[in-house]
Amino acid sequence: MVVVDDDAANASSLQKILQREGLQCEVAADGRQALTLLRKARVAVVLTDLMMPGVDGIELLQATQTSSPATAVIVMTAYGTVETAVQAMKQGAYDFLTKPLRRAEVVRAVTRALERSALRRENEELREELARAGRSRDLIGTSPSVRRAVDLVQQVAPARTTVLLQGESGTGKEVFARAIHRLSGRKGPFVAVNCAAIPESLMESELFGHEKGAFTGAVATKPGQFQLAEHGTLLLDEIADMPLNLQAKLLRVLQEGEVQRVGGALPQRVDVRLLAATNRDLEAEVEAGRFRADLYYRLAVICIELPPLRQRADDVTSLAQYFLRRFALQNGKPTLALSHEAMAALQSYAWPGNVRELENAMERAVVLARGETIMPSDLPERVARSEGGRSEISFAAGTPLEEIERMAIAETLRLTSGDKRRAAALLGIAVRTLYRRIGEQDEKR
């Protein structure tokens, strides 16, 4: 933090008080020196006098808000100028103290300001993380469903609890997992493992490690992914593909905080925060006997649902324009614009492949575009003819809800060529619910 006061004795006294509290503290004689310190390094709190020659406290406050919004500013003022301090509060100061200063009041105000500054820094870091996600094709946006997910990430990141990220492929589950790790403060690495990409015979060794000679080909001791993620975060992607026998061992790791290498005699302690991700309905997997109920409840302490792109129509435009700029630059083309017809096609398409599919569609459009405007003919055929890709149904007022539901299910199944998993996702219900509704409708025919 920085103490700013043209009274050298007062500044020195404040510096000693704060250093006794274990805080690093620099001193500046006026606002200009303080701004120099702010440009050199991040400063959490500025404690400044109001009346100073040159750049005064109000000017310093305004400059700090512009250059370092997360920095909390506390102003100090003599008793007779409290009105000026109130004016500073209206302009964004965090707090004010009246002279003569009392040690307890100074410490209390600075402690609160540090907590506020830390929270704002975390918010900034999350926004930066999600901005990077946008630059790498992943999930960003301003739709309410996305903002709810972001708010939940901010809440759960500092905890050690497990988090289950659920959403279709291409919705950004790994990006959100990385954001949780980044904001958690954990010092170890972020390690991501795709359970669907590991042969079942090798998965135990991959996760927990093995000792030399444990099996044919084990020519050396090998640490598992849990140990490689020590003091960090381990993401188990596509967790639904984990075999049942390994699910039991994973549950033990979560309960005991220990892993046992294949061929090892003794378990070893690990300090790892576990995150899991899946594009399947784990509750349905539990009911079908393919996933352990006890592991599901242990993983799903906190669930974050990542919405598919078709439920975020407002985000399609901004994402499409971003991809256009990026691919135009990569291909040495001028900035391209979307025609109204092309934009309408993008907005009406269901995007089963989510943001990843949109990215691929924009890359194709940039490569094929003959002019400076993207036309529907530049888009993939399935997108260009998407007026039928997101069909509508009509019904008369007074139609029973049961009949409307039947029509919606039938039309959605037609749209997805009978793919019930995709149809359930489009309808916003679980696959098992869709099967139950279809069965009930068949019985009534």
Strand partners, 193: 236
The answer to whether the Cα torsion of 104, 109, 112, 114 is positive or negative is negative
pLDDT tens profile 64-113:
877 777 788 998 887 556 677 677 777 778 888 888 888 998 999 999 88
Residue 219 has pLDDT above 50, yes or no: yes
Strand partners, 49: 76
Query: In the sheet where 45-49 sits, what is the strand order?
Result: 26-28, 2-4, 45-49, 72-78, 95-99
Strand partners, 27: 3
- The pLDDT assigned to 416 comes to 66
Task: Check if the beta carbon of residue 211 is closer than 8 Å to that of residue 177.
Answer: no
pLDDT confidence of 135, banded at 50, 70, 90?
A: very low
- The pLDDT assigned to 211 comes to 84
Task: Check if the beta carbon of residue 281 is closer than 8 Å to that of residue 109.
Answer: no
136 vs 265, residue with greater confidence: 265
Task: Check if the beta carbon of residue 5 is closer than 8 Å to that of residue 78.
Answer: no
386 vs 347, residue with greater confidence: 347
In degrees rounded to 5, what are phi and psi of residue 279? -105, 10
Among candidate residues 50, 297, 57, the one with its CA nearest the CA of residue 164: 297
- What beta strand segments (E) does 57-146 contain? 72-78, 95-99
11-34: average pLDDT: 89
pLDDT tens profile 351-391:
888 888 998 999 999 999 988 889 999 999 889 886 544 45
Find tokens 């704060």 and name the residue. Answer: 18
Q: Rounded distance, CA 116 to CA 410, Å?
A: 53
Four-point Cα dihedral 180, 182, 185, 188, nearest 10 = 110
Q: Rounded distance, CA 98 to CA 112, Å?
A: 17
Say whether the peptide bond before residue 243 is cis (omega within 30 degrees of 0): no
Q: How does DSSP classify residue 332?
A: T
Q: Which CATH architecture has domain 136-305?
A: 3-Layer(aba) Sandwich (3.40)
Q: By mean pLDDT, which of 205-209, 239-243, 345-349, 389-393 is the weakest?
A: 389-393
Residue 235 has pLDDT above 90, yes or no: yes
- The pLDDT assigned to 144 comes to 77
241 vs 335, residue with greater confidence: 241
- The pLDDT assigned to 230 comes to 93
Asked whether this chain's domains 2-120 and 309-384 adopt the same fold, the reply is no
Q: Rounded distance, CA 121 to CA 156, Å?
A: 16
* The token pair that represents 341 in the structure block: 């017809």
172 vs 393, residue with greater confidence: 172
Residue 58 has pLDDT above 90, yes or no: no
pLDDT tens profile 170-209:
888 888 999 899 888 899 999 999 999 998 888 988 899 8
Regarding the domain delimited by 2-120, which CATH topology (the fold level of the hierarchy) does it fall under?
A: Rossmann fold (3.40.50)
- Letter for the amino acid at 294? D
Burial zone of 239 (CB within 10 Å; 0-12 exposed, 13-18 middle, 19+ buried): buried
Find tokens 């039938």 and name the residue. Answer: 410
Q: Which CATH architecture has domain 401-444?
A: Orthogonal Bundle (1.10)
Q: Rounded distance, CA 234 to CA 348, Å?
A: 37
Indicate the domain borders of the chain: 2-120, 136-305, 309-384, 401-444
- The pLDDT assigned to 395 comes to 66
Residue 210 has pLDDT above 80, yes or no: yes
Look up the pTM and report it: 0.55
Q: Which CATH architecture has domain 309-384?
A: Orthogonal Bundle (1.10)
